[in-house]
Structure 1
Amino acid sequence: MPAREASTSLNRAIAILKVLGTAEGARDGVGVVRIARLIDREKSQVSRTLKTLAEAGFVVRDPRTLRYRLGWQLFTLAVSATQQHLTSLAPHLLRQLVANVGECAHLSVLDGGAVLTVLSESPPRTEQAIQAEEWVGRVAPVHCTSAGGALLLDHTEAQTRSLLAGQPEMDAKLAALLDRVRLARRRGYATVNEDFEPGLVAVAAPVRDYRGEIVGALNISAPKFRLGRALAAAGREVRAAADGLTRALAAHATNRRIS
């Protein structure tokens, strides 16, 4: 395919996806004739492009109305983009959080029924720097971690129960986790006090994407003798940092839509 023709086809596909991303497309779907009229293209061209997009999973056709909507493959890419933006925007907020609290800070995400640490920052003290590096890539249970409590803030009891299904002493773990989540909803942050590891306390707050959905959690963890008495103050700092990352994700999404 000549470069010029390929460019035209790509532009046509982009125009179609933008039409399907409007309120009209989300509500009722859009038919071929309507799309062709809106983007000022021939119906046959639009049909061919829609067929290609459907084969790739970017659009779906309602067999009853014959109208098109955005497909799940597009939403999958959007989620992937959000994760990339999350890890690219988080380091600055983590460094600021470390400067304010003086302890190791982490970015965690929900990985199935566990909490996965994907980024860490530490104060310029060798011992704590080593501890922070050890957290990256580490998987921890949701039921006894502050990040787990923050990441499950929007989960129903049934959803939370399903995450713990099959675990020993599930009822006791579920009760403790639900209590932690309820308290976190009121405070805006979740805490653990030696629940995960003896002598360790931690606090975490949720990070949301432009849709308001929780996509990660920022948390501070430290020995109890250092942070135990200042856990509430650290919680407010973590919540402020998480809110800042949430705003950064929303602003990035807005800028992308405008451009």
Structure 2
Amino acid sequence: MTQAPHTGHGLARDIDLLEALASPQAHRTGGLGVAQVARLTGREKSQVSRTLRALADAGLVERDADSLVYRLGWRLFSLVARGTDGRLTGVAEPVLHRLAVATEETVHLCVLRDDALLTVRTVSGHSYRTSGWEGHRAPLACTSAGRVLLADATPDELYVRFGAVDDLVPGHPDATARTVPQLWQAIREAAERGWAEVREEFEPGVSGVSAPVRDFRGRVVAAINVIGPSGRIGDRLGELGRTTAAAARAVSAELGWAPGAG
């Protein structure tokens, strides 16, 4: 009788550490040190160090041998992938690789999870930002993938999802869709174009495009996203958008989507 509460409490504290390693700060820096995790979670450094070592032994986090920072580990990503539609990831994998080679940029497969997007697969043709994305959650309103994933939502559904808030993305000062009406307009523009474009709204110096993956019903079930430094891809977002949209259509066709059917 006395062990169950203790076990649950311990699990919740472990999850706090994982949440810290999935935070925007951890994403920006490629991981966090013990002191940073302790500060974010309000726990003692020695306790955090012991717990992170145990999580690393289980494969849920990993420690960089050079910088000594921790990041989310392979086993956690494996669990996420297994929890995602296996057919989606299986069909998308070769398409993501071809797209990465064709664009020479970083490519992501993203899905909708509650009030955020979740990156479930990352492929890159070079070393730019190849780690730290899988398993990462990001806002919907200021990302091209988020706007694509919300393509099926009505304005009423957007209000239900986000509530009557004055600012959808307070931590992203360069975001252009800050209210539900602005987000709805951005979603409609992306739908008409066939892909969404975002220039440095989610992260300074980074731009990207995303296109929708649809299932046999025509419902959006994922987004294929291509990102890169604005100085390199900012002038060719249209080209990248068309290429990404073609890749997304190829995955959709494998999932049984037939445009115009019925």
Counterpart for residue 150 of structure 2: 152
Counterpart for residue 213 of structure 1: 219
Relative to structure 1, is the Cα distance of residues 167 and 132 closer, same or farther in structure 2, using a 3 angstrom cutoff? farther
1:82 and 1:209 in contact (8 A); partners too: no
Cα separation, 1, equivalents of 2:86 and 2:178: 36
Cα separation, 1, equivalents of 2:179 and 2:141: 6
Offset at residue 82 of structure 1 (A): 8.1
Offset at residue 175 of structure 1 (A): 3.0
Letter matched to residue 218 of structure 2: G
- The 5-angstrom pairing of residues 195-206 of structure 1 reads 195-206=201-212
1:99 equivalent in alignment to 2:97: no
Cα separation, 2, equivalents of 1:106 and 1:118: 8
2:110 and 2:224 in contact (8 A); partners too: yes
1:104 and 1:122 in contact (8 A); partners too: yes
2:141 and 2:178 in contact (8 A); partners too: no
Letter matched to residue 103 of structure 1: E
Counterpart for residue 20 of structure 1: none
Cα separation, 1, equivalents of 2:116 and 2:220: 15
Offset at residue 172 of structure 1 (A): 3.2
What is the TM-score normalised by the length of structure 1? 0.61
Counterpart for residue 89 of structure 1: 91
2:208 and 2:225 in contact (8 A); partners too: yes
Cα separation, 2, equivalents of 1:81 and 1:107: 14
Letter matched to residue 146 of structure 1: S
Offset at residue 91 of structure 1 (A): 1.1
Relative to structure 1, is the Cα distance of residues 167 and 221 closer, same or farther in structure 2, using a 3 angstrom cutoff? farther
- The 5-angstrom pairing of residues 59-138 of structure 1 reads 83-123=85-125, 125-126=126-127, 128=128, 131-138=129-136
Which has more radius of gyration?
Answer: 1
What is the TM-score normalised by the length of structure 2? 0.61
Aligned residues: 168
Letter matched to residue 242 of structure 1: A
Offset at residue 81 of structure 1 (A): 9.7
Letter matched to residue 137 of structure 1: G
Q: CA RMSD in A?
A: 2.0
1:230 equivalent in alignment to 2:236: yes
Letter matched to residue 95 of structure 2: L
Letter matched to residue 109 of structure 1: V
Cα separation, 2, equivalents of 1:167 and 1:112: 17
1:180 aligned to 171, 177, 186, which one?
186
For residues 121-164 of structure 1, the C-alpha deviation after alignment (integer angstroms, 9 at most, x for no partner) is 001x33x2xx1321100000100000011111111011112222
Counterpart for residue 163 of structure 1: 161
Offset at residue 248 of structure 1 (A): 1.0
Offset at residue 168 of structure 1 (A): 5.1
1:151 and 1:216 in contact (8 A); partners too: yes
2:166 and 2:178 in contact (8 A); partners too: no
The structure carrying a bigger helix percent of its residues is 1
Counterpart for residue 140 of structure 1: 138
Counterpart for residue 67 of structure 1: none
For residues 214-248 of structure 1, the C-alpha deviation after alignment (integer angstroms, 9 at most, x for no partner) is 11000101110010000000000110000000011
Offset at residue 167 of structure 1 (A): 4.8
Relative to structure 1, is the Cα distance of residues 192 and 114 closer, same or farther in structure 2, using a 3 angstrom cutoff? same
Structure 1 gap ranges (5+): 1-79, 252-259
Identical-pair percentage: 37
For residues 187-206 of structure 1, the C-alpha deviation after alignment (integer angstroms, 9 at most, x for no partner) is 11011111101111110011
Structure 2 gap ranges (5+): 1-81, 169-176, 258-262
